[in-house]
Chain A
Amino acid sequence: MNGKMTDLMNIVKEAEIIDDPAVIESFAHGYRGDVPMRPMFMVKPKNTDEVQKIVRWANETCTPLVPVSSGAPHLRGGTVPTAPGSVIVDLSGMDRIVKVDRRNRLALIEPGVTYTTLGPELKRHGLRIAMPLLPRKNKSVLTSLLEREPVVSPRYQWNMMEPLRALEIIWGNGDKFYSGGGVFRGEKEEDWKRGLVPVWGPGPGQLDFYKFVSAAQGSMGIVTWASVKCEVYPECRKLFFVPADRLEEAIEFVYLLLRYRFGDELFLMNKSCLAYVHARNADELESVKDTLPSWAVVVGITGGHILSKDRVEAREKDIRDIARGFGLKFIPQLRSLSGKEFGERIMRPCEEPYWKSRYSGEVQEVFFLTTLDRTPGFVAAMNEEADGLEYPAERIGVYLQPVHQGVGCHCEFIIPFDPDSRMDTRKTEELIRKSSLRLSDQGAFFSRPYGIWADMVYDRDAGTKTATKKIKEIFDPNNVMNPGKLCF
């Protein structure tokens, strides 16, 4: 036990401090060129006060902090310490669902709340949350939202921060702050009755504070609770597929659905991606894949709580007509893949093994934002890069998720590799590097710049880099929050 650890133990007496080498080592995996630094130890605060004390201590002692909320594995490297002597701040113990309010469709959650725990609780109140596609069971809801992970229901995304609303933030400088409508913390039941609830996300005031902690990989501060907007748990729900031989065929159909805001869940996948979702293990994969179309649009229809069946029926007929207009089929079953089952599956976190890792045991991802009409160009470019490196392009899963009600599109390439094969690993890393540069040159917007993407994006846009550094200087002047990430 080193001196710093003792100091911190004296400050946050209740918090659990862990220096178990096995735990510590688990954070020291390199990722996409990052040089991993073994953290000093891990601290598990139980409440906001402890978090604030930890951050203040870090400022006094110039100790780098790496906040972590989700369980392992940490795929994207945001929680890999890149500064020596870091302390992991594990927030998974702050896992209270503080409040669920049906009337205002709000839930107040701490960072340790996962989709696994939140879903059933919301359902109990007749609610659900717009989810990302099959998150890991131990994925922190708050982290996912803070990192602007796309959700499968673009129609509920009024802005890129949705459904995240008010936050309680401990900035890197140790200040406690409420963003949005967070000053209405809903601590008294009476306030909920009177409508004094943390329903606003933006602001308060003339700065948009929660945007400074978004996609920041913990580099600005630590969020200790958030209010999130929920949707009505549907009494009636159906899921359909629209198969297509070519991506372009499907895109025009999706555009019309987006325009009408039809489809409560709406996304596209290529054959491999569908197989990764559908197959339960690697053995099943190839056989499943053979039965699937090159591309499929996944369309969910839900019925809310008023005239639920009528709504589903009307939507189903409308979307079928629209599909027909494009010469496409709108079907509830794709060979062995049942819409009903698929629909149920995407309402929950992913069963183990994690779907993206089912093919070879490990996975790398390339993802960015673009517009849907430009995705065929990016798919072609990725395939070309894979071919050039003799990486089997047919393995690459493509997941296209319209965001912000269709204004943009999250384009994700899922690139499985065998971690035990040095060649596979090297080839994958090379593919990630080369394709990222090429896609970026081609107009892909790496809005969440993990690992090697950070230099790539900040070097392209000096204005944003300068502004971001100024903001960092204000909220984390001593650069204690996850140093080495982004442009810090």
Chain B
Amino acid sequence: MALPANVYKDLEDIVGSRNISGDPAVLDSYRYSLAHTAIHLGPFFDTFTPRGACVLLPGSTEEVRAIVELCNKHKIKFKASSTFWSAQGFPSEDDTIQLDMRRMDRILDIDKKNMFAVIEPGVIGATLQAEVMKVGLNTHIPGSGCSCSTLASATSYFGSGPSNLYGGWHYDNLLGLEWVMPTGEILRTGSLGQGCGWFCGEGPGPSMKGVARGFLGSKGSMGVYTKCAIKLFAWPGPECLPVEGTIPAYRTPLPDNFKAYTVAFPSWKAWADAAYAIWDAGIGYLAHRQFNMFGRDLKFAMVKILTDPTKTLSDLEELLADPEVQEITEQSKREFQIILVGMTKRDIEWQKKAFDEILERTGGWKVEAMDEPHIHDWVLLYMIRLGHKNLNLVFGGGYDGCFGLLGAADYGASNAEEAALFKKKWEKRGAIVDAGGDCMMGPIGGQGGGGTCLWENFTCFDSADRESTEGTFEFFDACTRFGLEKGWGVGMEKWNAVARGPDGKTTSKKKRDTIHLGSPQPSVFRYQHRVREAFNPNDLGDAYYETLDDT
């Protein structure tokens, strides 16, 4: 259904004719494929999110507010997204108005002393990082990578990534927030609302930032976040990353106060011991089990490909047959990457010593092959900028994570091998990439200072191949059953399945209610329902904001 002409005209008056489109070709480029990367709900072959009613490109908070007010007037659902990575940013109902926030892409302020930046939705991790590095600061880049909107990550979803450990996840980093609420009213949280600046998002009194986001954000279902301040942290490196090498094997040679290690352990227990010790010692700038996303069996061969511009995936089999590659693959089974960064020479020296001590105590070792200069400097660049996120889909264009054991290091460590073995058995069936079962990746330190990990078991498939896609879906179903059986709960392979179904649209209320009632604490969703009623009375979002009626 096209929008009524008068509504379209009113919207056009708000944003200008260049910034509105109802053309089907444009609208189809704002639909998301649920085949290639389902973001924890599928995958569903040949399924796309519904076509929007129109797409708008607002240029200011005032325009957003006017759009939202108009949507309320006509009771039309709307959904905003900034960088359109993941199904959550796309409508799940027909005739939704889509807001593409890319024109609001300014970095409004960088407060060097107080270490925060004020940004609009279109600012991505990479541009923010490039700008703040000029003043000796850095920004946390979440797991979705530096191509994604920093504001969206901080406000609307999760915001966790390799630099949680030192940089804090974006939950920690979100300061003042400007929010066009679902009714069109504007809420400015914390010090911002008092006209005192952007530095604090909490209060006065009970923090209303808690309405804007909790552990997760509202995934575009509760109004539009138009500006926010993001806490930054020290960058004791050059003002601009010095980049060498031939595409895509770019690398950054950084000064001696930067050191990247890949370290491996004799057991998962030792792996977890090391994580706890790192957190206790307070060392580390970035720590992530990163390259294992390619799979326990494939990771080092993939590193060889990615660090050599003459190689492609076609070299993979030959590399896997190389005894040296096999040996390194074997010794780095239970590994992770960590980057130590010293603020001073003494600081890095102490951190290195302390880290050696931790390895000594836990029986861990450094994977020396990863310390080759061209690989070392490639790891630095990869991890610091996180500009290769799309390697998630390198094999066949389809990927999703399963299990996603989230919690204390011991939680994942005590279940990791079982999850890996389970996947390994399924890999033999052929629908998914045969990678060694353990393709688990995630942060060593799920939040500022550590304390938690995430174990997302990457599953890669061919999104253009029905058998592969449907076989993957079957595997994910099996993961869910296995997770429930093991007491791990529903894994991340279904995290968003509650909101959207195989047709790309909102799941039935009955199904959602069943899932919510089966959760450890259904009242969470009841309270979210009450909050939605209070703050979004016309219900102009979608089921990504999860609710359960009081009745």
Classify A-B as touching or not with yes or no (CB < 8 A). yes
Residues of A within 8 A of B (CB): 103-105, 148, 156, 158-162, 175, 177-178, 180-181, 183-184, 193-197, 199-200, 202-217, 219-220, 229, 232, 255, 258-262, 304-307, 310-311, 314-315, 317-318, 321, 369-373, 404-408, 440, 443-449, 453-454, 457-458, 460-461, 463-464, 466-468, 470-471, 473-475, 486-487
Provide the B114-143 mask, 1 if CB < 8 A to any CB of A, else 0: 111000000000000000000010000000
Query: For the complex, is B108 an interface residue (Cβ under 8 Å from A)?
Result: no
Contact between B527 and A207, CB atoms less than 8 A apart: yes
Please provide the chain B residues from 22 to 78 with a CB less than 8 Å away from any CB of chain A in the complex: none
Query: For the complex, is B214 an interface residue (Cβ under 8 Å from A)?
Result: yes
Q: How far is the CA of A212 from the CA of B210 in the complex (A)?
A: 7
Distance in Å: Cβ of A237 to nearest Cβ of chain B: 14
Distance in Å: Cβ of B242 to nearest Cβ of chain A: 22
Residues of B within 8 A of A220 (CB): 206
Provide the B514-526 mask, 1 if CB < 8 A to any CB of A, else 0: 0000001101110
Contact between B523 and A206, CB atoms less than 8 A apart: no
Contact between B114 and A407, CB atoms less than 8 A apart: yes
Q: How far is the CA of A156 from the CA of B166 in the complex (A)?
A: 11
Sort A-B residue pairs by CB-CB distance and give the 6 closest, nearest first: A203-B215, A158-B448, A195-B411, A211-B210, A195-B410, A208-B210
Contact between A200 and B215, CB atoms less than 8 A apart: yes
Distance in Å: Cβ of B116 to nearest Cβ of chain A: 6
Contact between B114 and A408, CB atoms less than 8 A apart: yes
Q: How far is the CA of A317 from the CA of B449 in the complex (A)?
A: 24
Contact between A205 and B204, CB atoms less than 8 A apart: no
The verdict on A305 contacting B204 (CB below 8 Å), with A204-B214, A206-B546 known, is no
Please provide the chain B residues from 163 to 211 with a CB less than 8 Å away from any CB of chain A in the complex: 168, 171-172, 175, 185-191, 193-197, 199-211
Q: How far is the CA of A212 from the CA of B209 in the complex (A)?
A: 9
The verdict on A369 contacting B191 (CB below 8 Å), with A159-B168, A407-B114 known, is yes
Q: How far is the CA of A199 from the CA of B451 in the complex (A)?
A: 7
Residues of A within 8 A of B136 (CB): 259
Please provide the chain B residues from 407 to 425 with a CB less than 8 Å away from any CB of chain A in the complex: 407-414
Q: How far is the CA of A405 from the CA of B343 in the complex (A)?
A: 15
Contact between B215 and A260, CB atoms less than 8 A apart: no
Q: How far is the CA of A406 from the CA of B521 in the complex (A)?
A: 36
Q: How far is the CA of A184 from the CA of B410 in the complex (A)?
A: 14
The verdict on A314 contacting B347 (CB below 8 Å), with A202-B171, A259-B115, A306-B280 known, is yes
Contact between B207 and A212, CB atoms less than 8 A apart: yes
A-B contact pairs, 18 of them (CB 8 A): A160-B201, A177-B527, A183-B521, A195-B408, A206-B217, A206-B528, A304-B281, A306-B280, A310-B350, A314-B347, A407-B115, A407-B200, A445-B200, A448-B204, A463-B187, A466-B185, A467-B187, A474-B530
Distance in Å: Cβ of A222 to nearest Cβ of chain B: 14
Contact between A406 and B204, CB atoms less than 8 A apart: no
Contact between A314 and B115, CB atoms less than 8 A apart: no
Contact between A215 and B204, CB atoms less than 8 A apart: yes
The verdict on A194 contacting B545 (CB below 8 Å), with A463-B185, A463-B186, A463-B188 known, is no
Distance in Å: Cβ of B154 to nearest Cβ of chain A: 12
Distance in Å: Cβ of A468 to nearest Cβ of chain B: 6
Q: How far is the CA of A177 from the CA of B526 in the complex (A)?
A: 12
Distance in Å: Cβ of A398 to nearest Cβ of chain B: 19
Contact between B523 and A229, CB atoms less than 8 A apart: no
Stretch of B95-103, B351-359, B391-399, B433-441 at the chain-chain interface: B351-359
Distance in Å: Cβ of B383 to nearest Cβ of chain A: 20
Distance in Å: Cβ of A261 to nearest Cβ of chain B: 7
Q: How far is the CA of A232 from the CA of B281 in the complex (A)?
A: 8
> Which of B175, B208, B353, B414 is in CB contact (< 8 Å) with A467?
B208
Q: How far is the CA of A463 from the CA of B185 in the complex (A)?
A: 8
Q: How far is the CA of A407 from the CA of B528 in the complex (A)?
A: 30
The verdict on A200 contacting B282 (CB below 8 Å), with A370-B196, A447-B200, A447-B203 known, is no
Given contacts A206-B219, A463-B193, 6 further A-B contacts (CB under 8 A): A206-B217, A207-B524, A314-B349, A407-B200, A447-B203, A467-B211
Query: For the complex, is B452 an interface residue (Cβ under 8 Å from A)?
Result: yes
Query: For the complex, is B369 an interface residue (Cβ under 8 Å from A)?
Result: no
Provide the B136-153 mask, 1 if CB < 8 A to any CB of A, else 0: 100000000000000000
Query: For the complex, is B512 an interface residue (Cβ under 8 Å from A)?
Result: no
> Which of A197, A406, A454, A470 is in CB contact (< 8 Å) with B408?
A197
Contact between B353 and A310, CB atoms less than 8 A apart: yes
Distance in Å: Cβ of A312 to nearest Cβ of chain B: 10
Closest to B185 in A: A463
Q: How far is the CA of A415 from the CA of B347 in the complex (A)?
A: 40
Contact between B194 and A460, CB atoms less than 8 A apart: yes
Contact between B353 and A103, CB atoms less than 8 A apart: no
The verdict on A194 contacting B346 (CB below 8 Å), with A178-B521, A206-B546, A208-B209 known, is no
Contact between A447 and B191, CB atoms less than 8 A apart: yes
**A160, A214, A446, A454, most chain B CB atoms within 10 A:** A160
Residues of B within 8 A of A487 (CB): 205
Contact between B211 and A471, CB atoms less than 8 A apart: yes
Contact between A215 and B346, CB atoms less than 8 A apart: no
Contact between B451 and A104, CB atoms less than 8 A apart: yes
Residues of B within 8 A of A259 (CB): 115, 136, 234, 343
Contact between B114 and A371, CB atoms less than 8 A apart: yes
Contact between A199 and B408, CB atoms less than 8 A apart: yes
Residues of B within 8 A of A159 (CB): 168, 171-172, 448
Contact between B215 and A407, CB atoms less than 8 A apart: no
Q: How far is the CA of A36 from the CA of B235 in the complex (A)?
A: 52
Q: How far is the CA of A484 from the CA of B343 in the complex (A)?
A: 49
Residues of B within 8 A of A156 (CB): 449
Contact between A406 and B114, CB atoms less than 8 A apart: yes
Contact between A449 and B205, CB atoms less than 8 A apart: yes
Q: How far is the CA of A305 from the CA of B408 in the complex (A)?
A: 20
Q: How far is the CA of A181 from the CA of B447 in the complex (A)?
A: 13
> Which of B185, B200, B357 is in CB contact (< 8 Å) with A306?
B357
Distance in Å: Cβ of B344 to nearest Cβ of chain A: 5
> Which of B111, B115, B172, B234 is in CB contact (< 8 Å) with A158?
B172
Contact between A305 and B217, CB atoms less than 8 A apart: no
Q: How far is the CA of A372 from the CA of B411 in the complex (A)?
A: 40
Q: How far is the CA of A306 from the CA of B525 in the complex (A)?
A: 44
Closest to B350 in A: A314
Distance in Å: Cβ of A44 to nearest Cβ of chain B: 26
Residues of A within 8 A of B281 (CB): 304-306
Q: How far is the CA of A161 from the CA of B201 in the complex (A)?
A: 11
Distance in Å: Cβ of B244 to nearest Cβ of chain A: 28
Distance in Å: Cβ of B84 to nearest Cβ of chain A: 20
Q: How far is the CA of A42 from the CA of B369 in the complex (A)?
A: 68
> Which of B115, B206, B452 is in CB contact (< 8 Å) with A211?
B206
Closest to A213 in B: B206
Distance in Å: Cβ of A84 to nearest Cβ of chain B: 23
> Which of B168, B190, B409, B545 is in CB contact (< 8 Å) with A195?
B409
Query: For the complex, is B3 an interface residue (Cβ under 8 Å from A)?
Result: no
Residues of A within 8 A of B354 (CB): 306-307, 310-311
Please provide the chain B residues from 212 to 246 with a CB less than 8 Å away from any CB of chain A in the complex: 213-219, 231, 233-234, 236
Query: For the complex, is B325 an interface residue (Cβ under 8 Å from A)?
Result: no
Contact between B197 and A229, CB atoms less than 8 A apart: no
> Which of B200, B344, B523, B530 is in CB contact (< 8 Å) with A369?
B200
Distance in Å: Cβ of A79 to nearest Cβ of chain B: 15
Contact between A404 and B203, CB atoms less than 8 A apart: no
Contact between A215 and B202, CB atoms less than 8 A apart: yes
The verdict on A177 contacting B168 (CB below 8 Å), with A306-B277, A445-B190, A467-B187 known, is no
Query: For the complex, is B18 an interface residue (Cβ under 8 Å from A)?
Result: no
> Which of A194, A207, A321 is in CB contact (< 8 Å) with B211?
A207
Contact between B207 and A305, CB atoms less than 8 A apart: no
Q: How far is the CA of A219 from the CA of B354 in the complex (A)?
A: 46
Provide the B256-295 mask, 1 if CB < 8 A to any CB of A, else 0: 0000000000000000000011011110000000000000
Distance in Å: Cβ of A365 to nearest Cβ of chain B: 16
Distance in Å: Cβ of B192 to nearest Cβ of chain A: 9
Q: How far is the CA of A212 from the CA of B205 in the complex (A)?
A: 8
Residues of A within 8 A of B8 (CB): none
The verdict on A196 contacting B190 (CB below 8 Å), with A205-B525, A446-B204 known, is no
